[in-house]
Structure 1
Amino acid sequence: MITIPGQLAIRTIHGRNGPFNVGRLATSIGEFVIKNAELDQYDEGKYDGEFIITEIRPSTYNTSGRMVIEIRAHLGGMTLSSTEQLSENEASQFSPQEVDPLDEEPSAPATPSQPADLPVVSPDPLVDTTPFGVPDASPGGEVDETLFGALWPLTAVVKLDTTVDRRCLRAQGQRLRALGYTFDEIAQEWRLAVTV
């Protein structure tokens, strides 16, 4: 395990499982592909800071009739100091055919820590789009309690457990956005937007 300064560029790719994020970490010892689950909380951009690398290994995957070999690093944590937008040139360095990390993991049945698909919640509270027989998905509903587990009930500031299943972490981030939370990249926590 090493701690090293660097810059993490994150790009959002739209795949068959929905949007997901991949990263490229540039450091003094080399450039590495990052596919940690917690990246799905971040907006596309560049992040400067200190990165804890716990593992560096080669990885391969097949896409569009070709085999891709890349050097991946697994992050054990990071302390970010600044953020900026990703330029079009930097964004184009990412392959649009990146394989979703969910597709690389062995599939498993849904468990309480890995919820099934959540019902769509309409942004208009006067329109109920919840199918009959589906648990209440409004704030405080059974679906949220199952989704967030030990974090339930939610407070104004939420720090997600990034050790949970990737599918669960994505669902938690999507649900927090729907509930009016925004992600603070520097603090690495979700904050409820204050409305006046």
Structure 2
Amino acid sequence: MIKISGHLAIRTIQGRNGAFNVGRLSTSIGEFVIKDAVLEQHVEGKYRGEFVITEIRASSYSTGGRLVIEIRARLDSMVLEDLDALTAYDNAQIDTQSPDPLDEEQPVPTPPRKARPQPVRPARPASSPASPADDNAPFGMPVSPAAAPVTPAPDVDEADQELFGTVWPLGETVRLDSTVDRQRLRQQCQRLSELGYAMDFKSQAWNRAA
């Protein structure tokens, strides 16, 4: 584990799954590609701060008929201090053809559920005695069929509760868990923006706008 100061350039790229973030960390010991899920919460820009690196490894991908080899670093945590706009050099150092990390994370297949055997029910008689409600129908008028039960639409709060899980209920300040799957984290960030929250990169938390 290494704790080191540096600059993290984050660029937002549009992919087939939507927008995603890719970072490039510049330090005194080298430059590294960052694709950790924690980047999904931040806006595009160049951040200065301190970073805790737990792993450095080589990785590769192919795109457009070329093979790209990159050195990736995995972050344990970071403390960000300043934010500036990306320079032309920063943009040039981050490959816009970089694959979406979501595509690289292969989901674990879920085994299919076994169908439960249905109990055998006795055959229903052809005719059954009229219910007491049928006796109240006007003479000569057909009996109205029972109204089918209407399933209520899912409540918005229930959908949000399912999305945010242990983070629910949302307060004035929300701190997301970046260890959840990347797709859920993206949906949480999008929903927080819709609800009027903004990310504070210094506190690493979402605050409700006044």
With structure 1 as the length reference, what TM-score do the two structures score?
0.82
Cα distance in structure 1, aligned partners of 2:153 and 2:87: 42
Runs of 4+ in 1 over 4 A off after TM superposition: none
User: Where does residue 121 of structure 1 map in the other structure?
Assistant: none
Cα distance in structure 1, aligned partners of 2:195 and 2:88: 31
User: Where does residue 64 of structure 1 map in the other structure?
Assistant: 64
* 1:168 correspondence with 2:184: yes
Aligned with residue 155 of structure 2, among 133, 136, 140: 136
- The structure-2 alpha-carbon separation of the partners of 1:73 and 1:133, relative to structure 1 and needing over 3 Å to count, comes to farther
Identity %: 58
User: Where does residue 121 of structure 2 map in the other structure?
Assistant: none
Over residues 105-161 of structure 1, what are the superposed CA-to-partner deviations in whole Å (9 max), with x where a residue is unaligned?
A: 103469xxxxxxxxxxxxxxxxxxxxx976333xxx211001100111100000101
Q: Report SS of the residue matched to 1:86.
A: coil
With structure 2 as the length reference, what TM-score do the two structures score?
0.77
Q: Report SS of the residue matched to 2:93.
A: coil
- The structure-2 alpha-carbon separation of the partners of 1:33 and 1:134, relative to structure 1 and needing over 3 Å to count, comes to farther
- The structure-2 alpha-carbon separation of the partners of 1:133 and 1:16, relative to structure 1 and needing over 3 Å to count, comes to farther
Could you tell me which runs of 5 or more consecutive residues in structure 1 were left unpaired when the two chains were aligned. 111-131
Aligned with residue 145 of structure 1, among 157, 161, 177: 161
Over residues 70-93 of structure 1, what are the superposed CA-to-partner deviations in whole Å (9 max), with x where a residue is unaligned?
A: 000000000111111112342232
RMSD of the alignment, in Å? 1.7
- The structure-2 alpha-carbon separation of the partners of 1:63 and 1:133, relative to structure 1 and needing over 3 Å to count, comes to farther
Cα distance in structure 2, aligned partners of 1:181 and 1:79: 21
Q: Is the radius of gyration larger for structure 1 or structure 2?
A: 2
Number of equivalent positions: 170
Over residues 41-81 of structure 1, what are the superposed CA-to-partner deviations in whole Å (9 max), with x where a residue is unaligned?
A: 10100111110000000011121222211000000000111
